[in-house]
Amino acid sequence: MDVRTQARGVVFTLRGELDFDSVVQLHEATERELERTDKPPVVADCAGLAFCDSSGIGGLLRLYQRLSAQGRTLRLAAVPASVARLFALTGLDQLFSVHADVDEALGTDTAGQAAADATDGGQGAIDEGRSA
């Protein structure tokens, strides 16, 4: 899992399977990153996600609850059709904010962010490119 902190938020890139084994990596990576920064929003880039089981759903729910308690948001980007069907069947599509891609998910932030991005010359990425 890759973690990038950008001017407009934090992006966690999920790949492969989000299941009992990998949800631990999600938890550890989010704990480390969320202690370091308070940049809203947090985006889970699901473009490379092939599978999600109940453990993965639980991990995303815990992250959603933690962020909500902090007044922050979790946004999902590029959710594959198979995972989107799972979210629809469980009603999670009504809970999670789902977007076509990471740029759209980051772009739905508050109006003040557009001004901040213009100020930094559109260089929005403070890409620290860590991997968990």
Residue type, 85: R
Express each pLDDT in 67-120 by its tens digit. 999 889 999 999 999 999 999 999 999 999 999 999 999 996 443 333 333 333
Check residue 33 and give its pLDDT: 85
Rounded to an integer, what distance in angstroms lies between the CA atom of residue 100 and that of residue 36?
A: 27
pLDDT for the residue 13: 97
Residues in the chain: 132
Residue by residue, DSSP assigns 65-93 as: HHHHHTT--EEEES--HHHHHHHHHHTGG
Question: Which residue segments constitute the domains of the chain, with CATH numbers given?
Answer: 2-109 (3.30.750.24)
**Given pLDDT bands bounded at 50, 70 and 90, which one contains residue 125?**
very low
Percent of the chain with pLDDT over 70: 81
| pLDDT score at 112 | 37
99-103: Cβ within 8 A, 24+ apart = 99/43, 99/75, 101/47, 101/77, 102/11, 102/43, 102/45, 102/77, 102/78
pLDDT, residue 82, reads 94
What are 76's two structure tokens?
């999902």
Q: Which residue has the tokens 């989000």?
A: 18
pLDDT at position 35: 85
Q: 3-state DSSP call for residue 19?
A: coil
Distances from the Cα of 123 to the Cαs of 46, 101, 112, 118, 127, in angstroms?
24, 19, 16, 8, 10
Please give the pLDDT value at position 108.
Answer: 67
Our measurement of the distance from residue 130's CA atom to the centroid of its chain's CA atoms, rounded to an integer in Å, reads 15
* Average pLDDT of the chain, as a whole number: 83
Element (H, E) at 60: helix 54-69
